[in-house]
Each structure stands twice: as C-alpha cells, then as structure tokens.
Amino acid sequence: MCQTCGCGDRESSVNGDLKQINVVQEILHKNTQLAQQNRAYFKSKGVLVLNILSSPGSGKTALIERMLQCSQFRIGAIVGDLETDNDAKRLRSHGVPAVQITTGNICHLEADMIARASKKLNLDALDLLIIENVGNLVCPAAYDLGEDVRIVLLSVTEGEDKPLKYPTLFKTAQVAIVNKIDLAQAVEFNREQAIANIERIAPHATIFAVSAKTGQGMEDWYTYLEQKYRGIGNASFQVKRSSL
Amino acid sequence: MHEVAIMQNALDIALQQTRLAGGSQIHALKLRIGELSGVVPEALEFAFDVVVQGTIAADAHLEIDYIPVVCHCSNCDLDFQPANLVYECYQCDQISIDVVRGQELEIASLEVS
C-alpha cells in the first residue's frame, strides 16, 4: 500500500459488524503535498526560500532588517504573528515587499498560508523569500512550508542550553544562528558551550554567530546564502539580476 | 498547542476513510506518533476528546502507538535506540544524523461499522 496517502489495497478485515481499515496515512500529508507544490513553484521562479524559527524576541525581524540593509539580495518577506502587522510594517518601512499573516490563535504557519501569501508578492523580482514564522520553538517544527533552508535563531539572552530544551526543532533545522552576540559579555553567555550544545543536538547544522544589530558575523551568513542560491539552479544572484 | 490542529486533520482523514468504506460509525482510531514528531501524546488525547464531539467518532476509542527514536550509525552499520536526546552510537560514540524511526505522525488504522 502507498505509504503517503493510503491508496491501494486497504486490507480491510471484517470482524462481526466491525470493519478494520488499515489506513497508514501521514496526518499532515495535505500540508506536505502543498509544501512540495510551494517548493516547486519557488524553484521555478529561482527564489531561495528561508523559514526562520525562534522564540519571540530572538531578533527574527532585526536579522531580516540587517539583511535588507547589507546583503546584495533582493528580499521579500512573509511574516507570521498571532496578531498585529507590526513586523510587516517594520520591514515595509525599508521598502521591502512584506506580507503579514495574522494567525489568530494558531501557533504556527502552514503551507497553504504560504501559498496564498506568496501570490501577493512578485517573485520574479526577488532572489530571496524570507518566511518569519510565528515565535514558537515547538509547533512550527512539524510543518514543512516548502522552504529550501530551515533556520533556528537563538539569542544570547536565552541561555546556552536552549538546544537541549527544544531538541526537536534544532534537529529539523539546517542552520542555527546565535544572535545578539554583541551582548554576550554583558549576559555572561558562554559561546563555546552554546555551540557545543547545538553540535551535539544537531551535528548536521551549519552554525553562525552574529549580531543583527551591529552586523558582526553577517558576512559568513551572506556567503552561505549565496552558495545556497546558486545551489537551486541560479548562476549567481548578480547574473539573475543583470539578465532582468 | 498544535495538537488540536493535528487531531482535527487526523479526524478529517478518518471521516473520509469511513465514508469510503461505507461506514457510519467510528469505534476506534489508532495513531502512530514518533518521539521526534514534536507532538505530545497527552495533548493529542485531550484534543481528541474535543474534536470528536458531535461527529460519528464521538464514542470512538483513541489508541496511540508511541514510537521511540531509532538511529542508524554509518560507522558500525548498526541501528540503535539513543539513550538521550544526543544521538550517540553506544559502540563508537559517533553522533548519528540518520533517524530511521521516531518521526511518524500518522494514522495506522480505524475500526468502523
């Protein structure tokens, strides 16, 4: 039987009036299918898509703001929050196309929300689409949105043991960014310990230590993004831009 | 607390499958939930009681098969159950990134009439 949607032989068995149906279907298969459609669509547009996850207040919006000011990428953003469009407004004030999704009581973004929101953006004019997920280190981990790179962001004020407390999310991320590194000394943050914790929980993840506020460490992050951008089939972001 | 949304998805699939099988009542629903799925079984049970109200699954029994994480060590060519959340092979201490079980979030079976 098909492991994805349960089609094919159903192997029903009858026991009195009761019938057993062996379903074997992924509960989130609808989301997974939509995420795959999103991924194919974004790839056809040559856009690299990032999904940024963190606790509230780790500096997701500040990180995007820094990227707008200093990186060479043309960036669009989709921002998820329970209420208000403050973050999208903040990004729009930099002249960036930003769509706000207000989820109400939903603690995560889903692939269909991204499909609808991305229709409001001109992807042909973008290199990078950044999805700022709802601030939450648990629920968003279960939902593929169709991103190319999943990033977990933690700030130095949250403590070195965050990866140990929220292992599931760290294990699903390809990149971990330690933010607010300019405050490390003030809050007695042990950088080596934090990085060692990430490496033990998520040995596959690429780790960056940055300050979105001062720009410290951002160059390495941009270099990584350029490599990823070429990896989805673009020659380089400058080439795409000059061909427009 | 995304368990309510997940349980609602599971119920939608169960209702559809029951209709396809010509059933009108769901008596039991069995789920397979991996340790690394990001879902708490107790919260799922709570969500189940909420979402089934007023449906043909209102009296159904929920069974959750909780699947522990199993990793593969490429060094030793060995599947192992990690002792804690650091997926260290007990033979060679290499940390595995190859999770072979424990990410399940699926419906296994239904009992309908």
Q: What are A40's two structure tokens?
A: 């194919």
Q: What is the per-residue pLDDT across A220-230, written as a single tens digit (0 to 9) for each? A: 999 999 999 99
Identity of the amino acid at B33: I
Band the pLDDT of A235: cuts 50, 70, 90.
low
Question: CB distance from B86 to chain A under 8 Å?
Answer: yes
For tokens 């070195």, name the residue: A160
Question: CB distance from B83 to chain A under 8 Å?
Answer: no
Q: C-alpha angle with apex A24: A23 to A27, nearest 5 degrees?
A: 100
Res A69: pLDDT: 87
Residues of chain B found within 8 Å of residue A164, distances taken between Cβ atoms = 85
- How far off is chain A from B86, nearest CA to CA, in Å? 5
pLDDT(A186) > 60? yes
B39 compared with A233, residue with greater pLDDT: B39
Res A195: pLDDT: 97
CB-CB under 8 Å, A18 with B113: yes
The percent of residues in chain A predicted with pLDDT above 90, rounded, is 76
**Residue A192, CB-side half-sphere exposure with 13 Å CA sphere:** 0
CB-CB under 8 Å, A142 with B2: yes
Rounded to whole angstroms, how far apart are CA atoms A109 and A102? 10
Band the pLDDT of A10: cuts 50, 70, 90.
low
- Taken in order of first residue, the domains within chain A and their CATH numbers are 45-242 (3.40.50.300)
For tokens 């040995």, name the residue: A203
CA A75 to chain centre: 14
Rounded to whole angstroms, how far apart are CA atoms A164 and A235? 38
For chain B, give every domain's residue range: 3-68+101-112
Res A16: pLDDT: 64
Rounded to whole angstroms, how far apart are CA atoms A204 and B25? 46
Rounded to whole angstroms, how far apart are CA atoms A99 and A77? 6
Give bridge partners of residue B112 from the DSSP assignment: A19, B26
Following DSSP, what letter does each residue of A23-79 receive, concatenated?
EEEETTHHHHHHHHHHHHHHHHTT-EEEEEEE-TTSSHHHHHHHHHHH-SS-EEEEE
Query: Average per-residue pLDDT in chain B?
Result: 95
Q: Does B2 carry a binding-site annotation?
A: yes
Q: What is the per-residue pLDDT across A17-28, written as a single tens digit (0 to 9) for each? A: 889 999 999 999
Q: Does B71 carry a binding-site annotation?
A: no
- Fold classification of B3-68+101-112 (topology level): hypothetical protein PF0899 fold (3.30.2320)
Residue A115's H or E segment, with its range, is helix A111-118
Q: Report the number of secondary-structure helices (H) and strands (E) in chain B.
A: 2, 6
Residues of chain B found within 8 Å of residue A142, distances taken between Cβ atoms = 2, 6, 37-39, 105
Query: Measured between alpha carbons, how far apart are the two ends of chain B, in Å?
Result: 32
CB-based contact A181:A210 (threshold 8 Å): yes
pLDDT(A74) > 50? yes
A4 compared with A149, residue with greater pLDDT: A149
pLDDT(A242) > 50? no
Q: What are A94's two structure tokens?
A: 């930099």
Q: What are A171's two structure tokens?
A: 């294990």
Identity of the amino acid at A143: Y
Question: CB distance from A28 to chain B under 8 Å?
Answer: yes
**Phi, psi torsion values for B53, nearest 5 degrees:** -55, 130
Least confident of A16-25, A72-81, A139-148, B51-60: A16-25
Q: What average pLDDT does this structure show over B26-50?
A: 94
Q: What are A201's two structure tokens?
A: 């929980």
